[in-house]
Amino acid sequence: MAENHALGGSSLRSESDHSAKAKANEIRIPHRLCFVGHRTVPFYKEAFGFEGKMMAIFRLSIWNAWLMSLPFFALGVFLMVMKKDIAKRMSDMTGYSAREKFFTVVASIAPYPFMLATVWTPFTDMLPLLGVGVALYLLGMALFVVSLNIVIQTPPDEPFSVGPYRFSRNPLYLAATIVLMGICIATANIVLAGYLAIAVLPQHFMILAEERICREKYGMTFENYMKRVTRYLCNNW
């Protein structure tokens, strides 16, 4: 009787040990898989009730990257609704070739699938990446707001050449890219990062089309401006 009891206890302990080892193995997922899987930041557990378990790369939650993409999206909506003349000016494709129109349309709609995906994209639990991502995001948003203000204030018959346009010919697009890069880093999401890497290509060709039209419209004024100011950050970039 005692022997049977002892054997039963040993069996229960064995099953318990096996279960504990399985859980330990489940938790000890290599950190390099953070792009494939995802764990919640510890303080989220108390603030939002998450359990800190590994999550899929996309998961619907209140504490997702849409909190970063929504303000950026709202600024674009504000521009289109409240400043229709500016929106019309920026979307004018008069004089564009069919190829240039294609890249312009693709580049214009490319950010929206990205922002929609952030509804299902959680933040990373790697605090250094999260911090860098948020810092980049705030930098991009500040540059976006300042550049947008210059666009609104500049008369329709003049090129943009003051404020951040003294250092980059395309600070508005540069700011938007920095914002999206910040979101990619803050989420450590390789799918979003890959999408962004592809999306900047049609944007580049759209910018080339805009610069060609500006050269034709403003002549030597814009040619001299191009010699003084880089397209993005340095040299021809």
Q: For the beta carbon of residue 171, count every other beta carbon within 10 angstroms.
A: 25
The pLDDT, as a whole number, for residue 17 is 54
**C-alpha span between 61 and 84 (Å, rounded):** 34
pLDDT of residue 229 exceeding 70:
yes
The pLDDT, as a whole number, for residue 235 is 63
Q: 22-75, pLDDT tens digit by residue?
A: 444 443 433 333 333 444 444 444 443 333 333 446 788 888 999 999 999 998
Q: 77-100, pLDDT tens digit by residue?
A: 877 777 677 777 778 898 999 999
Geometric angle at alpha carbon 117, from 112 and 122, rounded to 5°: 140
Q: In the chain, which residue ranges form alpha helices assigned H by DSSP?
A: 2-27, 42-48, 66-82, 84-90, 98-109, 111-117, 127-153, 171-187, 190-218, 220-228
The pLDDT, as a whole number, for residue 70 is 94
